[in-house]
Structure 1
Amino acid sequence: MIEFIQQFNPVTQAFFATLFTWGVTAAGAALVFFTRAVDKKLMDSMLGFAAGVMIAASFWSLLAPGIEMADQLGQTPWLTAVIGFMGGGIFMRTIDAFLPHLHPSLSIEKSEGIKTSWQRSTLLVLAITLHNIPEGLAVGVAFGAVAAGLPAASIGGAIALAIGIGIQNFPEGSAVSMPLRREGMSKWKSFLLGQSSGIVEPIAGVAGALFVLKMQNILPYALCFAAGAMIFVVVEELIPESQRSYENIDMVTMATMLGFSVMMILDVSLG
């Protein structure tokens, strides 16, 4: 598989990889064709698993390679890591503060960002879309980094990241479509809105790859930036959302650790 992917340029690789992650989002949204609701314990566990995958991906696929690249390029590794990591978090916090969105388990009165009269369905899609921006960006930057030829970046590691992001996108797609279906929306409309939250990933992926190809000196910053943006999403949304039901907290914690382990295995074995 790696040999096949290597025949394409990094931008095309990032595009195909993020099409895959979008496709898994659509697969999660497609659950509405089979049921109106997913068991609460299962959904919480899936969200916890997704959080574990993103935490592991942030370190193994982004932050650690970024620090190694900074050292290879003669930068101060810890300073590069801090600037990039915190920059990613600040970027996501700024978008979070202004973009109208609604977390799936909350009432519309608790929507965040600039107040609007937009429908609940639109706000739900925007919430998951907000999450998918750093995910698509991370995949794009990872494939773009391979073209720099630095030892810290590998095509296997980029593929592992795309697979991990894809896996954790499954519950995110269902987290949009399921609430809409429960509220009486048709199966097809619930599905279309659920999968639409993943459209931003190919866009962000291609943009990330193009950006680092044009400015390879900022590669370490870009990788750490993507890591910071992903950790913001995990801490601000996925972990709190997965642990709203306190009785499920032990199961969710183990699911989070399992997700971390799966992503770690993918990155170490393929990277």
Structure 2
Amino acid sequence: PNGTIAEPTHLAVLTSEQRGDLRLWHGRTTLVERVRAMRGYTWLTAAALIGGIVGFVAGVEEGIPPFVLAPAVSLYMSYKWWRRGQSLRESGLRLRRVILSPRLKWVLPRPATPPTTQQLEKLAPREVLDSPLGMSIRRAVEERSAILAIAASLSKSDRAVIPDLEATVNGLVERVVSVAQLLHRLDQSMDPRLAADLDARIAEAARDGDSAEGQRRLSLLRRQRDTIEELTQRRAALARQLDSAGLALGNLRLDLIKLRSSGLQSALSDVSSATQEARALSREIGAVLEAVSEVKKL
């Protein structure tokens, strides 16, 4: 009322956790600002701890009661320092690196660089990369880069629990590339109008096919139609597996982010489960590709 704004619109949408985080950092929002503040606050907290101990000793020995309460300030600052450290860990940073790294740019994670055209062309031909299926390959390669970067930032004990992570991710990316190329070949060799054309020709042959020649023609047309239907179903199955592979990589990346930020055993269990699912999916796709290869040899 009367033109008074009780709460700005951009703050009204914040959750209680987000508000608490902003208060903790005194309004700082970027990681660069928070890392700088944490470095300075670490020295202040260390100085406060030393001052608190000295003040407490002086208060006891010299009989100055107010000095006895000096550690209360350092305890409050230590608690606030711990909370800020937890906040930085949840953002994916290592607290030891935040405090001890001589340069700020070494603390912040490097942004993931998209794969170059040369790197992608080592995986699949240019015509596949330029097709709509090329996006699936690019996304899979980017997910792999992000997963391996996150895994490299984990502690040795966490990495030891998921030793086959890199092999699983690489295998799944290879499956994505193989399926994308197979789908591209199917799309190139199949005319989407062929099924409707065959249906019309089958209907015409059924009306006119009382003779032996007509029945033979009808049989050939139906055989072609069955083949088209089989290829269509196979393409749909491959497309679903391609999508599932992309989802598996995405889930694995998110579980690793959760593990890095929380360090909880439950998050580690999620990563192990996601790795097993990715490995199982890779084997399933491999079996399908082998079956397709065997059919081609017949």
Normalised TM-score (structure 1): 0.33
Comparing both chains, which one has the higher relative contact order based on Cα–Cα distances under 8 Å and sequence gaps of 6 or more? 1
Instruction: Determine which structure has more spread, i.e. the larger CA radius of gyration.
Output: 2
Normalised TM-score (structure 2): 0.31
